[in-house]
């Protein structure tokens, strides 16, 4: 099922929300993990009419990861592309009970572009991890 604005607001209310002046609002659950919830001043949501185009730029410290999640209906999908100055680990995953499933998983890549088609209704998360010893700049685009 695709989440609406009410579900997103409930999620944000339940989490610890902080805002970086002049930057996107973020939900912080773990100091190594940043989840985008607002891009260009507007909440990022998946609507019944499709996923909005989202672009981001982040710098990942060593051992830090960045995660971006979207609700997608079965058969729906999105294009994604990213580029980093150094290799990162990338995946698209979802949670099924206590298990984490990885329909897409790449290690040590500096760029990737593809289309993901959801096999079932659920929240899918794109995640980048800096396994290196120095910070890595990353830019990405997710959209219909």
Buried b (16+ CB within 10 A) or exposed e, 59-85: ebeeebbbbbbbbbeeebbbebebebe
pTM of the model: 0.67
Q: Average of pLDDT values for 23-38?
A: 39
Looking at the 3D structure of the chain, how many domains does it have?
Answer: 1
Better-predicted residue by pLDDT, 104 or 35:
104
**Domain with 19 in it:** 5-143
Cβ 54 vs Cβ 44: under 8 Å: yes
Predicted confidence (pLDDT) per residue in 51-96, tens digit: 677 889 999 999 999 998 989 999 999 999 999 999 999 999 999 9
Residue 54: give its domain's CATH number.
2.60.120.680
Q: Give dist(CA 110, CA 124) in Å, integer.
A: 21
Q: Residue 68: CB partners within 8 Å, gap ≥ 6?
A: 35, 36, 44, 54, 56, 125, 126, 127, 140, 142
């Amino acid at each position: 099922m695709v989440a609406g604005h009410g579900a997103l607001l409930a999620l944000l209310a339940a989490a610890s929300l902080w805002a970086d002046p002049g930057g996107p609002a973020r939900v912080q659950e773990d100091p190594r993990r940043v989840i985008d919830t607002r891009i260009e001043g507007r909440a990022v949501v998946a609507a019944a009419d499709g996923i909005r185009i989202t672009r981001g730029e982040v710098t990942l410290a060593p051992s830090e990861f960045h995660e971006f999640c979207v609700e997608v209906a079965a058969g729906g999908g999105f294009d994604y592309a990213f580029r980093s100055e150094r290799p990162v680990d990338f995946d698209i995953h979802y949670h099924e009970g206590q298990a984490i499933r990885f329909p897409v998983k790449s290690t040590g890549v500096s760029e990737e572009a593809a289309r993901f088609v959801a096999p079932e209704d659920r929240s899918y998360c794109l995640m980048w991890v800096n396994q290196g010893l120095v910070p890595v700049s990353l830019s990405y685009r997710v959209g219909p």
